[in-house]
Amino acid sequence: MAASAEAAALEESFRKFAIYGDTKATGQEMNGKNWAKLCKDCKVSDGKSVTSTDVDIVFSKVKGKTARVINYEEFKKALEELAPKRFKDKSKEEAYEAICQLVAGKEPVNVGVTKAKNVGAVERLTDTSKYTGSHKERFDESGKGKGKSGRENIVDTSGYVSAYKNAGTYDAKVKK
């Protein structure tokens, strides 16, 4: 039971890294960039015994001749290839188990992502309730933009002079 749970966690990690950064990805195949990210984020490549070059070479070895992606089975083969390099003191099976434990249950990490924060000046400048003049006309009471109707003067094509108070009453007068 523990082995199947670990295998499920390993496959889940594969799927999460496979779809990372690609909106069209299905999670069935992983490209080289995401394979390198998985190895870096899960500490498979340590920079000494397993370098980024080793990671790229193993990816090229397990993928098909003309393919640009690997599936889950090829992913497991790639981990088998890297395991003895990463864990030199362990047997091949123990090394594979150890490398699977490194990867299982992990998710892609967003490093260097900038978080937007509101500073006093920005908050004051974007508060639509304090807008005056023509800028005030571009937003409704809740602060939501009106779109095109807030930017352009909509021309009245009714035939009446602008600001005429009795617009639309001619037909009523004629019928009497």
In the chain (176 residues long), the average pLDDT of successive 10-residue segments reads: 74 89 86 90 88 92 90 91 89 89 85 68 75 77 74 70 73 71
Q: Where are the domains of the chain?
A: 1-103, 114-146
End-to-end alpha-carbon separation of the chain, Å? 91
pLDDT for res 1: 41
pLDDT for res 54: 92
pLDDT for res 58: 92
Torsion of CA 78, 60, 47, 97, to 10 degrees: 0
Residue type, 170: Y
Are 46 and 18 in contact by the 8 Å Cβ rule? The answer is: no
The CATH H-level (homologous superfamily) assignment of domain 1-103 is EF-hand (1.10.238.10)
pLDDT for res 68: 92
pLDDT for res 60: 93
pLDDT for res 164: 73
